[in-house]
Structure 1
Amino acid sequence: MVLGFTPANPAGPSGGRARILPSTADPAQLDAALTTLELTVRRRLDGLLQGNHLGLVPGPGAEPGDARPYHPGDDVRRMDWSVTARTTEPHIRQTVADRELETWIVADLTASLDFGTTGCEKRDLVVAAAAAVGHLTQGGGNRLGAVLAGGSGIERIPARGGRPHLQYLLRSLASSPRSAPGARDGLPEALEQLRRPPRRRGLAVVISDFIGPLDWERSLRALNSRHDLLAIEVLDPRDVELPDVGTVTLFDPESGRTKSVRTSSRLRADFAGAAAQRRRDVSTAFRRAGAAQLTLRTDRDWIADIVRFALSRKRGWTGAAGQTKGDVS
């Protein structure tokens, strides 16, 4: 059985089909590709969540405020015992509503993302997903930062606000050096970079194809204690099924190994079954970590998938609040 391998010479877009999103692989075309991407995102997502971002978490807020005397009916769990002891009168600690959202994107740019057989590479889809997240969470004093795991190791982009910063972040993401085959300085290390030192409560968005061992699950679960989590899984059709093309050389970009196989019906069925089981294992890991899941594919309209996902969660939207977090009224 061959799982996690991708064709060494994949077929290009079929039937003259238009590209789903512009390629960022050519440095000479990078500016034009990012401009096109920004216009697409703004046109399709503008106003989608207006009026729904009332705060980061449900309730009165998370930031400590002033103490005031206790009144009957106040929540005793908010009792400020230190002030109560000093004044000999019951006091509760008020909280300040947290209106500013700090979003961190963890982008996996390891070698398996430099692949695509339809309209684009998975790497282009990572950039597009980051652009959509940036657009949906910008404004109102919100800040966006990123941790990139790719060919140059782990790179951190500090969280700042404003459109120029978002453009700088996307350019850094799109122009990040490609990983050498077999290099695996990736997702677990990037998640730990985000977790330590602890940051203020916010939204963590993890974008990857999640190919390889589930060694990132523990770090993702640890992030759930301070952040709302959104996992964006980017896939190509060849990640889930093999075409009937006879003998083909398969290449695993994560390990650098190659293997020649004949794509018999038995092999294709085994590959599809193992890939489906892998996707179920990944989804289970997301649920255990308390992360909402959004799947984007290179052969689908990625922005339509984002719109459907956002609209389905619009009542409780805090950027991407997981189902386990409940709705924000």
Structure 2
Amino acid sequence: MPRGGDVTAGSAGSADLTRLEASLRTMELTVRRRLDGLLQGNHTGLLPGPGSEPGDARPYQPGDDVRRMDWSVTARTTAPHVRETVADRELETWVAIDLSRSLDFGTADTDKRHLALAGLTAVAQLTAGGGNRLGAVVANGAETMRLPARGGLVHARALVRRVATMPAAPEGVRGDLTAALDQLRRPPRRRGLVAVVSDFLGEPVWERSLRALSGRHDLLAIEVLDPRELELPDVGTVVLADPETGRQREVDTTPLLRREFAAAASAHRDRVAAALRRCGAAHLILRTDRDWVADIVRFATARKHAWSGGGMSPARAGRAGGPA
């Protein structure tokens, strides 16, 4: 599985910045190479105005540019008409990222925080070019950081770097995805794409905020998972810890406990998936024990027909990137 380097958020303040830059650069190149050519193209204008795409015809008014005369309509109606054009509008993408302490967990090839950065990098690559802008709202439970939407590869790299170096919240602080979503609601943003990156642990109290965004934006939810969150191994007595509250509990991984744990985890994932469907969000699942780049490629390829001029349509194809 391509990992794109080991990036550990929360420790970047003391880590070697050269190594961090190299890791992020490797991740970017890995995603770009595997996603090359996917989902590229021009964007349909959202508002009428100067541009290159033909719009509606209307009667000629004094002062109109005669070069926009629509002679076919003029001939049919025997009245002079001009053809308006639709503005070539760039796509504005906002990423809401949940960087709670629960992301500092991984028992396979990487950890969930690395997958969150991978998801952010993929969104940046899939929406790059053509004057598009990328912004982010990052919440770790203790603070919420807003990174303004700007265009260009330099900005995209700086944004990913800022997210990677955001410190982890103190122990005992729970994540707050709702706070990040609410910052995207007020003030209202221009229409575009909103991608939400989280492990979606806990009850879906964020559903109301996400649904409010669906009326104005297309939504993409990127869920990051570790296999040990879905089922417990038969390892005897272990100590389980909640990274957000610091609570610990010693348990014996009996067959009964493992069955109950798996059933509860499956029920929780079903609730999350149902909430995302109600919000009209496309659902991409990245796992620490899978090739996350391959999952992104499969997801993007399967949904390529649902992209209209570079913007993702509301989810109709269900989830992608789940367990094989």
Tell me the distance in 1 between the aligned counterparts of 2:289 and 2:194: 26
Summarize the alignment of residues 48-59 of structure 1 with structure 2, pairs less than 5 Å apart.
Answer: 48-50=38-40, 53-55=41-43
**Contact 1:62 1:95 (8 Å CA) reproduced:** no
Tell me the distance in 2 between the aligned counterparts of 1:150 and 1:322: 27
Q: TM-score, normalised by structure 1?
A: 0.81
The aligned residue for residue 46 of structure 2 is 62
**Contact 1:19 1:120 (8 Å CA) reproduced:** no
Return the letter of the residue paired with 2:7.
T
Relative to structure 1, the CA distance from residue 270 to residue 141 in structure 2 (aligned partners, 3 Å threshold; closer, same or farther) is same
The aligned residue for residue 77 of structure 1 is none
Tell me the distance in 1 between the aligned counterparts of 2:203 and 2:88: 37
SS in structure 1 at match of 2:248: strand
How high is the sequence identity, in percent, across the aligned residues? 57
Return the letter of the residue paired with 2:159.
L
Q: Mind listing any 5+ residue stretches in structure 2 that lack a counterpart?
A: 51-55, 60-80, 318-324
SS in structure 1 at match of 2:90: coil
The aligned residue for residue 79 of structure 1 is none
The aligned residue for residue 126 of structure 2 is 136
Give the alignment's Cα RMSD to 1 decimal: 2.4
The structural deviation recorded for 1:221 is: 0.1
Aligned length in residues:
284
**Contact 1:21 1:120 (8 Å CA) reproduced:** no
**Contact 1:22 1:120 (8 Å CA) reproduced:** no
The structural deviation recorded for 1:45 is: 1.1
Q: Deviations over 1:150-181 (max 9, x none)?
A: 26510000000111101101101111101223
Q: Does residue 197 in structure 1 map to residue 180 in structure 2?
A: no
The aligned residue for residue 160 of structure 2 is 170
109, 112, 124: which is aligned to 2:114? 124
The structural deviation recorded for 1:121 is: 1.1
Return the letter of the residue paired with 1:303.
V
Q: Mind listing any 5+ residue stretches in structure 1 that lack a counterpart?
A: 1-17, 71-90
SS in structure 2 at match of 1:177: coil
The aligned residue for residue 315 of structure 1 is 305
The structural deviation recorded for 1:140 is: 0.2
24, 27, 38: which is aligned to 2:7? 24
The 4+ residue runs of structure 1 with deviation greater than 4 A are none
Q: Deviations over 1:19-67 (max 9, x none)?
A: 73421126212112112111211211121223xx3425xxxx4214498
Greater CA drift, 193-202 or 36-45:
36-45
Q: Does residue 289 in structure 1 map to residue 264 in structure 2?
A: no
**Contact 2:175 2:244 (8 Å CA) reproduced:** no
Q: TM-score, normalised by structure 2?
A: 0.82
Greater CA drift, 251-260 or 169-178:
251-260
Greater CA drift, 203-212 or 99-108:
99-108
The aligned residue for residue 85 of structure 1 is none
Return the letter of the residue paired with 2:263.
G
